[in-house]
Amino acid sequence: MRTHNIALLPGDGIGPEVIDAAMLVLEAAAARFDFALKTQRYDWSCQTYLDTGRMMPADGIERLQTHDCILLGAVGWPAKVADSVSLHGLLLPIRKQFDLYVNMRPHRLLAGVDGPLRAKDFDILCIRENTEGEYSGAGGRVHQGTKAEVAVETAIFTRHGVERILRYAFEKARQRSGRLASVSKSNAQKHSMVFWDEVAEEVAADFPDVRMTRYHVDALAARMVTHPETLDVVVASNLFGDILTDLGAAIQGGLGFAASANLNPAGGGPSMFEPVHGSAPDIAGRGLANPAASIWAGAMMLEHLGEVAAAEGVIAALEATTAAGQTVTPDCGGEASTWEMAEAVAQAIR
């Protein structure tokens, strides 16, 4: 039997609850679609940091390297551990070491979910550059604390980085409707974004079957609200993608539904799948968290592993559950717990 070797990183807050919920569903999919999931759980979290001074052990990356994929819950406990510590101690090293340069997020309104927009029938796939650009960390401050203080943040765009994210987005567009929106701001940022547009045009020449439209990020943000149904694949830099995918989460019914894949399409290490939400300390431990985002992330993981039918089965079961509306969590108007909603999805698969 096909066996996939998964590292589970439940993390903090609602992370363990939503990971348990996702695994209940993924195990049901494995049984139904004839494959096996071999899981190893790593309880690396802010508690680990408080106990040991590290978010993960020194050989953490080596241990993760042995797995096909990583399924992550949420990391962060802002009241006790600075966000910068949890981010730099766990998530960023994983993204960097495994060169997870694609951050992919689907934005679609599941049946039965009532988003804030009038348009209900949209299906957007956002592809965000995940390793460079505006989040390169280059820059500094001079004359600190004086009236002459200056802070400089340098965005770094390499041909290697821009070209590979655009190529990935073109491939995705080719597999879907053949339409791609490339996002920049070349009217205002005359170096990096003009470069982005140039590379986009170059790559477009290799994909004559894909229709690329270039948008400025402000116009694209407006379009996501006014005409989301006109968009299919959207590709953007690190910062613009960050902002647009939070907007995408909002129009699909909130953080409870937003899922994310961190991919290295070239392979060589595990890709990582996670719900977009954080540890949500305000609702942790009470069974209130919506498991849809982590279940959806799990479906993306199955697709990445080649279990395409199972991935489609999981999404269909999730959507059957939201459409029925009987067994959903309070954020979508129901009274079910995290576990009860996951059990309903698992039952729909069985």
Contacting residues toward ligand ATP, per CB under 6 A: 74, 76, 83, 255-256, 277-280, 282-283, 289-290, 293, 331
User: What are the tokens at 228?
Assistant: 């989301």
From 49, 185, 215, 232, active-site residue: 185
Give the length of the chain: 350
Tell me the Ramachandran region of residue 13: left when phi exceeds 0, alpha when psi lies from -120 to 50, beta otherwise.
left
Report which residue type is found at 257.
Answer: F
Query: What is the residue whose two structure tokens read 């402000």?
Result: 218
Instruction: Indicate the residue among 236 and 297 with the shorter CB distance to ligand ATP.
Output: 297
Biggest CA–CA distance in the chain, Å, is 67
Residue 15: which of ligand ATP, Mg ion, none does it interact with, CB under 5 to 8 A by kind? Answer: none
SS3 328: coil
99 catalytic per annotation: no
218 catalytic per annotation: yes
Query: What is the residue whose two structure tokens read 């009532």?
Result: 114
Q: How far is the CB of 318 from ligand ATP (least distance, A)?
A: 13
Q: How far is the CB of 85 from ligand ATP (least distance, A)?
A: 12
Residue 45: which of ligand ATP, Mg ion, none does it interact with, CB under 5 to 8 A by kind? Answer: none
135 catalytic per annotation: yes
Query: What is the residue whose two structure tokens read 């045009």?
Result: 201
123 catalytic per annotation: no
User: What are the tokens at 42?
Assistant: 């790593």
- CA quadruple 11, 13, 17, 19: dihedral sign: negative
Question: Which residue of this chain has its Cβ atom nearest to Mg ion in the complex?
Answer: 278
Residue 76: which of ligand ATP, Mg ion, none does it interact with, CB under 5 to 8 A by kind? Answer: ligand ATP
- Ranges within 271-330 binding Mg ion (CB under 5 A): 278
59 catalytic per annotation: no
Q: How far is the CB of 53 from Mg ion (least distance, A)?
A: 25
Q: How far is the CB of 276 from ligand ATP (least distance, A)?
A: 7
SS3 275: strand
SS3 277: coil
Query: Which residues contact Mg ion (rule: CB under 5 A)?
Result: 278
Q: Which residues are catalytic?
A: 135, 185, 218, 242, 246
